[in-house]
Amino acid sequence: MLATQLIQQGSLLEINAALTGGSVTARALTEASLTQIETLNPSLNAMTQVFPQQALAAADQADARLQQGKNVTYLTGIPVAIKDNLDLLGSRTTCASQLLHAYFPSTDAAVVERLKRAGAIIVGKTNMDELALGSWSLHSAYGRVAHPLDPQRQPGGSSGGSASAVAAGMVPIALGTDTGGSVRQPASLCNLVGLRPTHGIIPNQGLFPSVTAFDTIGPFTRSAMGAAICFQLLSNRDPAAFRLAALQQLQQPLRIAIPNELMTLPLGAGIRPLFEGAIQVFQSFGTALVQVNVPHFHQGTRLYQHFSATGILQSLKHFFNLTKDDPGKLSELITQESVGPEVKARVTRGLRLAAEYGPAGNAETRRARSLFRHRLLDYFDSGVQLIATPTSPVTALTPQEIQNSQHSTHWDLFTIPAAIAGFPALSLPVGFTRDGLPVGLQLMARPGDEITLLRAAIAYEQRMAPLRSFQVN
Ligand code: GLN
């Protein structure tokens, strides 16, 4: 029972304490995780592949390690799921696409290697939007992922399977990837902490690229402390800087910027009051607020659309070995019936942009990106450590609402700036709307300053009721 409860609701530190204290074994936790998956996955469709034998063997190794008390990390014996665009030796990397149906990688992704070295137990791979393009986990060759709180709704995307698996209580931690928001947005919609580290800090080797210049691997956890621990292990950061005591201490009072432009944006019902309430909590421990104008914030979406279309084009060309410019071959690939509408739309846009603007267009967008980054950096140079926004302008929607939405171009509005700039950002759960749907607050920091980002999130978390995943009825 204890193992099941820990898998359903435990934070990383709670599970680690039970493992090192000997009240639960990695095997019991892994069995509980596999049972949870068996029970819940038929309705949620969060996992694409499950590896019971390998997971149980890894659990026994972790138990031996725990017993000897040698080489134990916070992840030793912890069941973890990884998004199905990350390579795991012996299994397919599907990216939820028929295009990759026979792709068996020859090595583990760098993050998988790090997870294994830390003693984590990889129980399965998670469902996602095809090739990581999308915001709702609706476009998958495996079918849609359902939201654990309300299966009629979507958990966000593209890492919706990872979010759904952690929130539903199948695993306490999952890895996702964030190109334009795909860790932060589903985390926000599923009441989880989702971290997008600085681009390049966690190695992308073994990740099927979506937009190479933006792709970033990050964890979904039930606590900010869990996110900090995962980040340290995945990035190989100095463990001394990430000691628990150091994480629990804010070095100086924070200064957080809030973009004025926010005030005029249409937000889903209940989001603004929860955002403002969370900001008040930050103020209650001495955080100073600064209102700033970020007029170029909106331009991010247009820029991102260019990068995302041309990026996926490059990525597919590379994968299918289309060395010469061969638009015909790519068009042919995507006309296959099995390819979903989002991939079709992006590749078509990518081909159009390439034909219209050529390399000069790319050079221009790269310049615009650099300018965007510098303007954002200016805020941090003016003495602000963090920028706060809601993570998403909407809460979890139904497929019908998604289809009818007038705001599809706004969905990623808040997560795109950090993606364009390559800055670290996280989503922190700040409560539920009247309809019972989770809302997240996004914090963004300067490149390389994950420690301030995580300390701020931990300081908030310490003042709030402990985060808990919810039970599925
Ligand atoms: N929703 C965004 C898109 O559709 C972001 C996807 C991502 O981060 N992988 O491109």
Model confidence at 295, pLDDT cuts 50, 70, 90, reads confident
In the numeric block, which tokens belong to residue 108? Answer: 């583990």
Residue 179 beta carbon below 6 angstroms from any ligand 1 atom: yes
End-to-end CA distance of the chain: 18
Strand partners, 428: 441
Task: State the distance from the centre of ligand 1 to the C-alpha of 109, rounded, in angstroms.
Answer: 21
∠ Cα 124 127 132 (to 5°): 125
Residue 392 beta carbon below 6 angstroms from any ligand 1 atom: no
Model confidence at 426, pLDDT cuts 50, 70, 90, reads very high
Give the number of residues written for the chain: 473
Probe target for ligand 1 pocket from 308, 344, 420, with the most ligand atoms within 8 Å of CB: 308
**Which contacts of 139-142 are long-range, i.e. CB under 8 A and separated by 24 or more positions?**
139/96, 139/340, 139/341, 139/342, 139/343, 140/96, 140/340, 141/94, 141/96, 141/97, 141/98, 141/338, 141/340, 142/45, 142/48, 142/94, 142/96
Atom of ligand 1 minimally distant from the CA of 179: 8
pLDDT in tens, 103-115: 999 999 999 999 9
Residue 132 beta carbon below 6 angstroms from any ligand 1 atom: yes
Peptide bond into 164 cis (omega under 30): no
Probe target for ligand 1 pocket from 97, 127, 130, 135, with the most ligand atoms within 8 Å of CB: 135
Residue 308 beta carbon below 6 angstroms from any ligand 1 atom: yes
pLDDT in tens, 159-183: 999 999 999 999 999 999 999 999 9
Residue 134 beta carbon below 6 angstroms from any ligand 1 atom: yes
Residue 160 beta carbon below 6 angstroms from any ligand 1 atom: no
Residue 158 beta carbon below 6 angstroms from any ligand 1 atom: yes
What does the pLDDT average to over 347-365? Answer: 89
In three-state secondary structure terms, 13 is helix
Asked if residue 20 lies in contact with residue 65, where contact means CB atoms within 8 angstroms, the answer is no
Q: Which of 196, 247, 269 is nearest to 421 (CA)?
A: 196
pLDDT in tens, 39-67: 999 999 999 999 999 999 999 999 999 99
CA-CA distance, 347 to 68, in Å (whole number)? 52
Task: State the distance from the centre of ligand 1 to the C-alpha of 159, rounded, in angstroms.
Answer: 9
Share of the chain above pLDDT 90, in %: 84
What does the pLDDT average to over 19-40? Answer: 98
Task: State the distance from the centre of ligand 1 to the C-alpha of 182, rounded, in angstroms.
Answer: 5
- Residue 263: its pLDDT value, please? 73
CA-CA distance, 218 to 441, in Å (whole number)? 17
Q: From its phi and psi, is residue 265 left (phi > 0), alpha (psi between -120 and 50) or beta? A: beta
pLDDT in tens, 192-244: 999 999 999 999 999 999 999 999 999 999 999 999 999 999 999 989 889 99
Q: Residues 174, 245, 384, 381: is their CA dihedral positive or negative?
A: negative
Q: From its phi and psi, is residue 383 left (phi > 0), alpha (psi between -120 and 50) or beta? A: left
- Residue 250: its pLDDT value, please? 84
Task: State the distance from the centre of ligand 1 to the C-alpha of 308, rounded, in angstroms.
Answer: 8
pLDDT over threshold 90, residue 470 = no
Model confidence at 465, pLDDT cuts 50, 70, 90, reads low
Atom of ligand 1 minimally distant from the CA of 132: 9
**Tokens 């296959």 sit on residue:** 336
Residue 218 beta carbon below 6 angstroms from any ligand 1 atom: no
- Residue 322: its pLDDT value, please? 83
pLDDT over threshold 50, residue 468 = no
Residue 137 beta carbon below 6 angstroms from any ligand 1 atom: no
CA-CA distance, 300 to 309, in Å (whole number)? 14
Task: State the distance from the centre of ligand 1 to the C-alpha of 4, rounded, in angstroms.
Answer: 33
What does the pLDDT average to over 276-292? Answer: 95
- Residue 409: its pLDDT value, please? 78
The pTM of the full predicted model, rounded to 2 decimals, is 0.96
Task: State the distance from the centre of ligand 1 to the C-alpha of 210, rounded, in angstroms.
Answer: 9
Atom of ligand 1 minimally distant from the CA of 133: 4
List the alpha helices (DSSP H) in 192-270: 224-235, 244-247
Q: Could you give the domains of the chain?
A: 2-247 (3.90.1300.10)
Neighbours of 13 (CB within 10 A): 14
- Residue 299: its pLDDT value, please? 84
Q: Residues 82, 83, 87, 92: is their CA dihedral positive or negative?
A: positive
Q: Treating both helix axes as pointing N-terminal to C-terminal, what angle do 327-335 and 341-381 enclose, rounded to 10 degrees?
A: 110
In the numeric block, which tokens belong to residue 92? Answer: 């397919």
Atom of ligand 1 minimally distant from the CA of 134: 4
pLDDT in tens, 109-133: 999 999 999 999 999 999 999 999 9
